[in-house]
């Protein structure tokens, strides 16, 4: 769930945006998701499971699940009842199990068992919304998309990078301000920075490589 946020009317300049992403790239030249997967399908299932759950908990569940079933047909063969024991430790596992089984059936019926490279087709899958579709398009197919989760939503508003009252507004703002050379990896840099540095309750401004660019008025420590 996204925290209610009233964005302040402060925006980074294009020059600051370029510097920000240059620093994030220098700190982490080859970022990737922390969700473990070996195929677009495994990524899709992991992202569906990750809603309101930690990547660590998802990885613990999918390590066992994917060892037994890592294709649409194999998971469909488990059935909803057979799938639940594998994901029982993840929040909302009942509804997620239902959505995953329905998604596997649709992949087999409409897409030959493959994950579609199409936003509309992805969003038509049960349990898949815009954020999940953006992750799949970016990671599985190399599309320049940004999936706005709670971390990116907070970071974009707090820093002044792309203030917006809704995830879609933030996504559009980010797509407009991120220089093209950084778009392929921008999602990963932002989510990792929001997860570990620009945290919700108390951002770690003293160890932030972009603190001097950030427009947040209530920084937790002095910066250069």
Binding-site entries: 198, 205, 208, 214
Binding-site entries for [4Fe-4S] cluster: 198, 205, 208, 214
How many residues appear in the chain? 224
Catalytic residue among 84, 131, 212, 219: 131
CA–CA dist 113, 131 (Å, integer)? 22
Catalytic residue among 149, 212, 218, 219: 149
Q: Is-catalytic flag, 149?
A: yes
CB atoms within 10 A of CB 186: 24
Burial 8-41 (b: 16+ CB within 10 A, else e): eeebbeeebbbebbebbbeeeeebebbbebeebb
Half-sphere exposure (CA, 13 Å, Cβ side) for 178? 24
Q: Is-catalytic flag, 96?
A: no
Catalogue the active-site residues: 131, 149
């Amino acid at each position: 769930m996204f925290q209610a946020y009233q964005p302040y009317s402060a925006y980074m300049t294009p020059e600051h945006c370029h510097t920000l992403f240059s620093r994030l790239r220098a700190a982490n030249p080859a970022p990737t998701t922390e969700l473990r997967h070996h195929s677009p399908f495994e990524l899709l299932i992991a992202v569906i499971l990750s809603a309101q759950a930690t990547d660590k908990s998802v990885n613990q569940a999918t390590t066992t699940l994917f060892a037994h079933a890592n294709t649409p047909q194999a998971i469909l063969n488990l059935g909803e009842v057979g799938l639940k024991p594998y994901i029982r430790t993840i929040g909302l596992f009942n509804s997620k199990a239902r959505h995953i089984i329905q998604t596997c059936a649709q992949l087999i019926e409409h897409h030959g068992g493959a994950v579609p490279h199409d936003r509309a087709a992805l969003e038509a899958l049960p349990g898949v919304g815009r954020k999940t579709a953006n992750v799949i398009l970016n990671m599985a197919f190399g599309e320049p998309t940004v999936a706005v989760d709670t971390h990116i939503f907070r970071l974009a508003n707090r820093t002044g990078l792309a203030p917006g009252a809704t995830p879609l507004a933030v996504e559009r703002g980010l797509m407009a301000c991120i220089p093209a050379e950084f778009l392929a990896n921008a999602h990963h840099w932002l989510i990792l920075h929001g997860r570990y540095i620009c945290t919700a309750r108390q951002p770690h401004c003293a160890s932030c490589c972009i603190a001097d660019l950030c427009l947040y008025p209530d920084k937790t420590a002095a910066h250069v």
